[in-house]
RNA sequence: GGCGGCUUGGCGGAAUUGGUAGACGCGCUCGACUCAAAAUCGAGUUCUAACGAGUGUGGGUUCGAGUCCCACAGCCGCUACCA
């Protein structure tokens, strides 16, 4: 379609407005200390999850959340807030490096090119970002502070008593040895079985395994020496401190389940002089423990196995090691296991119970050993049946349920001093007994593991650490950023040796030290990027105290709500659900450490979180290249314009909902925008758009004919304002369509009232609204004008239409004066012709009048 | 298996606190304009010839239920032997 044939000339005015916003820095956000900073304005920090600038460019999923935050940001700005709405790039990551392996091109080069594409695409959508605050996690200045924060973790430990992080310097002062301190740092070296991917050439966090495996990569368990972050120390706070956050309950639950707190007890069993501790959430069933199971990797297995069982046990362990986690975790598969020949003593009754090893017990959770109570645990029940182990009832079910395999609470039986106690009381009593007799103790267990933080890849932040004589040391702050040297060959070696170790000159230092050659995972940058936006060019601190305090201050909204002050720094964070347990958990952890150390004043990073729903292809399937259902935003902008794309994505349905793309729907909103355009302009003989003769600068309120129009306009201002506040964008657009239809039908369009529509349309379709406003003689940009308020008086009508129901069914409608009292309304309702028909010959039992809404007559 | 979400016309969806179910848009039908078509404008469009029926299914609470309660089914997502 040539521009002339397009329903309105978006292709010429959209880039012009974008250029003007750029040139005038319309969306620049002043910081405290700036000349144009106005301390009387409340702050509003609205954040998008910044994109990874992939080679394939922007996806239609990106503008969904970005348009939502843009609407909120533009509106808040016009409502008198100092709005921080920044954008940046999560630019470290595996794809750039894999591209480098193929082409030999340095990842920095591809990254710069990809960022340029993303930026061009985002600018073409007219988002009101403060581009002066743009950041990229790969910028040396950004890397510097990522490394600095890592060193904060490295030089801190978790003080159990205070429940917070403190500098290890305090321990040094108390005379702790280096070894003792190294054992408690929040960043520490640990040799453990990790998720190693030979074809990616790196280890992965537990949370990442599934993602890469589903992309076809191999991930196997392998013991390696790795850097870990002690996130487990924060498990309880990460659960508790979710409470005051305004997040979807589903996401909170997902995090809680991921952290996986369970309460129970550790119980000590004796095996040939060894003490083997098990963890159980059901210590009340201790009398029913008829055997014990150790994980195949359990350290005592070799020692306790008898000579007769040695071969079988070793064969089983070997078979388990060969199995991938996926195979091992397959629920449908039969239980397997081998008897060790050893017996353990049940501490509560002295019974000798056989000790088995089985792969349904994991070394990584609890103590790697369990007491098996087959009568009241599904897995143990299944295992006992298969291997014909004894099953002893110790819980009496509440109802008449079968006790075999009964796992719910009941009453203790066959349990000595616990008999008759309900499960909860039995638990408390047995734990007291265990503690008094030194045979166990109360224990809270979490599923969350420490965060495996090192990677062996090139395109990430190097660890700012060196090694000498087997000890690690921090690189001084003055030497940050520590940048990786360029390499000629980025190919993984297939061994766990980090890629950076190839750069001998870089690794070996003159004093005989060597550099740590691991790099950080992509999460590192995204753990704190939102902080950097607040003070992006600060070269002496990651964020100045002043900027930190200002952008952390409780938002006006939180204060106005009268509730507790906001605990999170960012007022609104919008992004996809896929980050529910990774980025959102990691960032909370870092923020808490920084808070504990006094670097940030809030306890949480993100006060309010909203998840946008996935946009599916036209076929209702997830968009993917292989299905051929991918929609490219560039094509949509070219055909229909940026405003149409923005508006369509908001009109599709509720932001949080999963919804399919429909190109016909884009046409629909494009037609709506064209209708708005044609209210203002008509084409003359020469094919030029000139101001429509319908547009008249006349007062509206005193003309009876225009009263209905006035009402619609003010309803629209009211509804759009409210709908933006509750992020119900689809209904706001629907209301603007109603308003536009009213203007289209009107013979005269009063200029001031039409401008009100442009005002509220502005955050949704910024280019079109500014263009029409300017062409109609508006001198200031809408973006710089105050947000309009509606006139309550314009909304009231003299008469109301009420619905009349008989026995709950709609039968008639009546019109009454707006101030009619209940008796008048009731009389009018009973007199309505269709109501008379329905009630004829019946007795009126009751009449319910809902003022302003309806009348229901109960008759029989 | 566990947890979460969803289920309203031919389609996307609306109904904010229990009060006119189907706003708005798409599609479709008819009309105006046109030699004709596109575009645009206007009228109509839950089903049913009608009586009536109707928000996944069955029950309940209520004067009144898409909305609240109980049970069930289907679809989607996440998670997975967590002791």
pLDDT at A540: 95
Question: Could you tell me the two tokens for A204?
Answer: 């992965």
Strands (E), A722-798: 749-750
Question: CA–C1' span, A667 to B40, in Å?
Answer: 15
Question: CA–C1' span, A81 to B24, in Å?
Answer: 31
Protein residue at shortest CA distance from C1' of B39: A7
Protein residue at shortest CA distance from C1' of B4: A250
Confidence class for position A703, pLDDT limits 50, 70, 90: low
Q: What is the mean pLDDT of residues A41-57?
A: 93
- Please give the nucleotide, over all strands, whose C1' is closest to the CA of residue A803: B20
Q: What is the mean pLDDT of residues A120-127?
A: 97
CA torsion A98→A102→A108→A110, rounded to 10°?
-100
Question: CA–C1' span, A693 to B14, in Å?
Answer: 35
pLDDT at A221: 73
Question: Could you tell me the two tokens for A330?
Answer: 């397959």
Q: What is the mean pLDDT of residues A74-99?
A: 93
Question: CA–C1' span, A744 to B41, in Å?
Answer: 10
Protein residue at shortest CA distance from C1' of B5: A250
Q: Per residue, what are the HEC states of A430-489?
A: HHHHHHHCCCEEEEEEECCCCEECCECCCCCCECCEEEECCEEEECCHHHCCCCCCCCCC
Confidence (pTM): 0.92
Question: CA–C1' span, A126 to B40, in Å?
Answer: 29
Strands (E), A555-671: 568-570, 572-575, 604-606, 609-611, 615-616, 659-660
Protein residue at shortest CA distance from C1' of B20: A803
Confidence class for position A94, pLDDT limits 50, 70, 90: confident
pLDDT at A168: 97
Residue A193 has pLDDT above 80, yes or no: no
Residue A461 has pLDDT above 70, yes or no: yes
Convert the pLDDT of each residue in A802-821 to its tens digit: 888 888 888 888 888 877 88
Convert the pLDDT of each residue in A528-583 to its tens digit: 999 999 999 999 999 999 999 999 984 444 343 433 445 899 999 999 888 888 89
Is A121 within 8 Å of A89 (Cβ atoms)? Answer: no
pLDDT at A273: 87
Q: Which of A318-322, A331-335, A691-695, A714-718 has the lowest mean pLDDT?
A: A331-335
- Please give the nucleotide, over all strands, whose C1' is closest to the CA of residue A672: B25
pLDDT at A796: 84
pLDDT at A488: 84
Question: CA–C1' span, A850 to B17, in Å?
Answer: 14
Distances (CA, A) of A341 to A277, A312, A368, A527: 18, 10, 18, 50
Question: CA–C1' span, A790 to B21, in Å?
Answer: 29
Q: Which nucleotides of B are covered by protein (CB under 7 A)?
A: 1, 3-6, 11-16, 19-21, 23-27, 39-42, 53, 63-65, 76-83
- Please give the nucleotide, over all strands, whose C1' is closest to the CA of residue A813: B20
Confidence class for position A801, pLDDT limits 50, 70, 90: confident
pLDDT at A600: 94
- Please give the nucleotide, over all strands, whose C1' is closest to the CA of residue A667: B26
Report the C-alpha gap between A452 and A230 in whole angstroms: 9
Residue A20 has pLDDT above 90, yes or no: yes
Q: Which of A671, A639, A672 is nearest to A757 (CA)?
A: A672
Q: Which of A508, A490, A509, A488 is nearest to A498 (CA)?
A: A490
- Please give the nucleotide, over all strands, whose C1' is closest to the CA of residue A800: B20
Question: CA–C1' span, A231 to B63, in Å?
Answer: 58
pLDDT at A566: 55
- Please give the nucleotide, over all strands, whose C1' is closest to the CA of residue A660: B12
pLDDT at A207: 64
Residue A32 has pLDDT above 90, yes or no: yes
Question: CA–C1' span, A279 to B74, in Å?
Answer: 40
Q: Mean pLDDT of all residues in chain A?
A: 90
Protein residue at shortest CA distance from C1' of B15: A731
Between A523 and A837, the more confident residue is A523
pLDDT at A24: 97
CA torsion sign for A470, A472, A473, A475 is positive
Q: Residue A316 has what DSSP assignment?
A: H
Is A146 within 8 Å of A88 (Cβ atoms)? Answer: no
pLDDT at A370: 94
- Please give the nucleotide, over all strands, whose C1' is closest to the CA of residue A363: B82
Report the C-alpha gap between A740 and A213 in whole angstroms: 51
Convert the pLDDT of each residue in A377-434 to its tens digit: 989 999 999 999 999 999 998 777 788 888 888 899 999 999 999 999 999 999 999 9
- Please give the nucleotide, over all strands, whose C1' is closest to the CA of residue A257: B3
- Please give the nucleotide, over all strands, whose C1' is closest to the CA of residue A383: B81
pLDDT at A283: 95
Q: What is the mean pLDDT of residues A303-316?
A: 93
pLDDT at A649: 95
Q: What is the mean pLDDT of residues A148-159?
A: 98
Q: What is the mean pLDDT of residues A301-312?
A: 93
Question: CA–C1' span, A151 to B18, in Å?
Answer: 57
pLDDT at A561: 41
Q: What is the mean pLDDT of residues A757-762?
A: 98
Confidence class for position A705, pLDDT limits 50, 70, 90: low
Confidence class for position A180, pLDDT limits 50, 70, 90: very high
Question: Could you tell me the two tokens for A794?
Answer: 């314009």
Convert the pLDDT of each residue in A592-638 to its tens digit: 999 999 999 999 999 999 999 989 888 887 888 877 888 999 999 99
% of chain A beyond a pLDDT of 90: 66
3-state secondary structure of A405: coil
Strands (E), A34-76: 43-48
Between A225 and A771, the more confident residue is A771
Q: What is the mean pLDDT of residues A767-791?
A: 96
Q: What is the ipTM of this complex?
A: 0.95
Question: CA–C1' span, A651 to B33, in Å?
Answer: 31
Question: CA–C1' span, A255 to B55, in Å?
Answer: 34
Residue A335 has pLDDT above 90, yes or no: no
């Amino acid at each position: 379609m040539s521009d002339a044939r397009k329903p309105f000339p978006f292709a010429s005015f959209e880039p012009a407005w974008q250029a003007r916003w750029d040139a005038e820095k319309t969306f620049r956000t002043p910081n405290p200390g700036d000349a144009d900073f106005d301390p009387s304005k409340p702050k509003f920090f609205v954040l998008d999850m910044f994109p990874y600038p992939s080679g394939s460019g922007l996806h239609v999923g990106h503008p969904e959340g970005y348009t939502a935050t843009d609407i909120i940001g533009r509106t808040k700005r016009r409502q008198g807030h100092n709005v921080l709405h920044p954008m940046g790039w999560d630019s470290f990551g595996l794809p750039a490096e894999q591209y480098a392996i193929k082409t030999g091109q340095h990842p920095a080069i591809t990254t710069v090119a990809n960022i340029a594409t993303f930026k061009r695409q985002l600018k073409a959508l007219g988002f009101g970002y403060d581009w002066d605050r743009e950041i990229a996690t790969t910028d040396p200045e950004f890397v510097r502070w990522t490394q600095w924060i890592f060193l904060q973790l490295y030089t801190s430990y978790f003080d159990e008593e205070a429940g917070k992080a403190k500098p290890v310097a305090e321990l040094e002062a108390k005379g702790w040895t280096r070894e003792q301190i190294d054992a408690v740092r929040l960043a520490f070296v640990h040799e453990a079985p990790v998720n190693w991917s030979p074809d990616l050439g790196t280890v992965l966090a537990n949370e990442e395994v599934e993602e890469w495996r589903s992309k076809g990569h191999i991930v196997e368990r392998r013991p390696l020496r790795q850097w870990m972050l002690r996130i487990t120390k924060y498990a309880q706070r990460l659960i508790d401190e979710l409470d005051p956050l305004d997040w979807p309950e589903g996401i909170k639950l997902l995090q809680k389940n991921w952290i996986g707190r369970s309460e129970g007890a550790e119980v000590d069993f004796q095996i040939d002089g060894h003490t083997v501790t098990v963890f159980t959430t059901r210590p009340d069933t201790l009398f029913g423990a008829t055997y014990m199971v150790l994980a195949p990797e359990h350290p005592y297995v070799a020692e306790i196995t008898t000579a007769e069982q040695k071969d079988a046990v070793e064969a089983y362990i070997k078979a388990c090691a060969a199995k991938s986690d996926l195979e091992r975790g397959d629920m449908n598969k039969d239980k397997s296991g081998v008897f060790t020949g050893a017996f353990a003593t049940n501490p509560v009754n002295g019974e000798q119970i056989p000790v088995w090893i089985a792969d349904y017990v994991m070394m990584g959770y609890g103590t790697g050993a369990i007491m098996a109570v087959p009568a009241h645990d599904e897995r143990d029940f299944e295992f006992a049946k298969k291997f014909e182990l004894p099953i002893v009832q110790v819980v009496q079910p509440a109802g008449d349920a079968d006790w075999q395999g009964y796992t719910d609470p009941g009453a203790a039986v066959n349990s000595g001093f616990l008999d008759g106690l309900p499960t909860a009381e039995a638990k408390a009593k047995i734990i007291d007994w265990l503690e008094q007799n030194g045979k166990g103790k109360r224990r809270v267990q979490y599923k969350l593991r420490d965060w495996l933080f090192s990677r062996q890849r090139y395109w990430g932040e190097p660890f700012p650490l060196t090694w000498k004589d087997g000890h690690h040391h921090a690189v001084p702050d003055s030497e940050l950023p520590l940048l990786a040297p360029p390499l000629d060959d980025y190919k993984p070696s297939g061994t766990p040796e980090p890629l950076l170790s190839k750069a001998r000159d870089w690794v070996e230092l003159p004093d005989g030290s060597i550099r740590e050659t691991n790099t950080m995972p992509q999460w590192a940058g995204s753990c704190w990027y939102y902080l950097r936006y607040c003070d992006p060019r600060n070269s002496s601190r990651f964020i100045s105290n002043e900027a930190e305090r200002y952008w952390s201050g409780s938002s006006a909204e939180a204060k106005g709500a009268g509730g507790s002050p906001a605990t999170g720094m960012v007022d609104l964070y919008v992004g996809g659900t896929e980050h529910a347990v990774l980025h959102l958990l990691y960032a909370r952890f870092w923020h808490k450490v920084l808070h504990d150390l006094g670097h940030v004043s809030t306890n949480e990073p993100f006060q309010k979180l909203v998840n946008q729903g996935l946009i599916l292809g036209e076929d209702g399937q997830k968009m993917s290249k292989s299905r051929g259902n991918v929609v490219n935003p560039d094509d949509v902008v070219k055909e229909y314009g940026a405003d149409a794309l923005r508006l369509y994505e908001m009109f599709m349905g509720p932001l949080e909902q999963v919804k399919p793309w429909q190109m016909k729907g884009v046409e629909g909103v494009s037609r709506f925008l064209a209708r708005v355009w044609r209210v203002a302009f008509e084409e003359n003989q020469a094919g030029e758009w000139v101001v429509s003769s319908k547009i008249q600068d006349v007062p509206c309120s005193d003309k009876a004919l225009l009263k209905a129009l006035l009402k619609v306009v003010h309803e629209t201002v009211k509804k759009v304002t409210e709908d933006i506040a509750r992020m119900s964008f689809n209904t706001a657009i629907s209301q603007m369509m109603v308003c536009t239809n009213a203007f289209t039908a009107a013979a005269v369009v009063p200029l001031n009232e039409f401008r009100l529509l442009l005002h509220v349309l502005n955050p949704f379709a910024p280019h079109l609204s500014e263009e029409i406003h300017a062409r109609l003689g508006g001198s200031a940009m809408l973006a710089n004008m105050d947000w309009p308020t509606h006139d309550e008086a314009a909304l009231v009508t003299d008469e109301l239409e009420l619905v009349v129901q008989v026995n709950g069914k709609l039968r008639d409608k009546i019109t009454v004066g707006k101030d009619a009292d209940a008796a008048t309304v009731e009389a009018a309702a009973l007199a309505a012709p269709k109501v008379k028909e329905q009630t004829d010959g019946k007795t009126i039992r009751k009449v319910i009048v809902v003022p302003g809404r309806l009348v229901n007559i109960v008759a029989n």
